[in-house]
Amino acid sequence: MKPKEVNMEAKSEYQRQLTILIISFLAGYLGLDRFYRGEVALGVIKLITCGGLGVWYLVDVAIAAYRFGKLS
């Protein structure tokens, strides 16, 4: 791979993780973060339970922040 291709892939992954973090924080209790990741079944369960009564929501926000922090 060329250096520019590697840089573009890293930038794309950075933007993806940032998007997941924002979605998790703003609408994670509705399961939208799981839908964005392609985990539809978990998104529906999270939607029905309102983010696992808030616990699942907090865990997903923490995981998204951790993954985003690893890229920075």
Domain locations along the chain: 3-71
Residue 3 has pLDDT above 90, yes or no: no
pLDDT tens, position by position, 11-48: 888 999 999 999 999 999 999 999 999 999 999 999 99
**Whether 18 contacts 45, CB under 8 Å:** no
Burial (Cβ within 10 Å: 0-12, 13-18, ≥19) of residue 28 = buried
Residue 6: pLDDT over 90: no
* Residue 8 predicted with pLDDT over 90: no
- Name the DSSP letter for residue 30: G
Mean pLDDT of the region 48-54 = 92
